Amino acid sequence: MSDASRRADAVWQGTLARGSGEVTLTTSGAAGPLPVTWASRTERSNGKTSPEELMAAAHASCFNMALSGILGDRGTPPDKLETSATVTFVEVEGGWKVGSSAIRVKGSVPGIDADAFRQAAEAAKDGCPISGALKGNVDLSVEATLT
């Protein structure tokens, strides 16, 4: 298997507080331009995205793929996984940082009990490449329930 690279482009105009920008998912062309402002990071989104929302999307989708792979390897492939990731952007001394990414997954998985599903979800949280990029810098958590 070869390496994979993906590209997104961002444009910003103006000051931090009053300026605005756009983000485009360049490689796939799947989204963009998406509007972004400082206020969409720190206050209400008002129809604009933020780096943290894009990070949450990346984490949720990466986690789903990791969990699906783990469950399949264990002989219990999922019928459906519904996952949300909530990424917090917190003010700290000297600036701002991403504080946490909390994953909540509901799964329909024939032939598995709740404890085995939770164990698989923990393994996916620890093994997903986006989690790996965040580990040590961001608090990671997962809540898993069967439907």
The pLDDT tens digits of the residues spanning 39-83 come to 999 998 999 999 999 999 999 999 999 999 999 999 999 999 999
pLDDT at 1 over 80: no
pLDDT at 3 over 90: no
51-146, CATH topology level: GMP Synthetase; Chain A, domain 3 (3.30.300)
Half-sphere exposure of 82 (CA within 13 A, CB side): 5
Kindly calculate the radius of gyration of the chain based on its CA atoms and give it in whole angstroms.
17
pLDDT at 89 over 90: yes
Q: For the chain, give every domain's residue range.
A: 8-42, 51-146
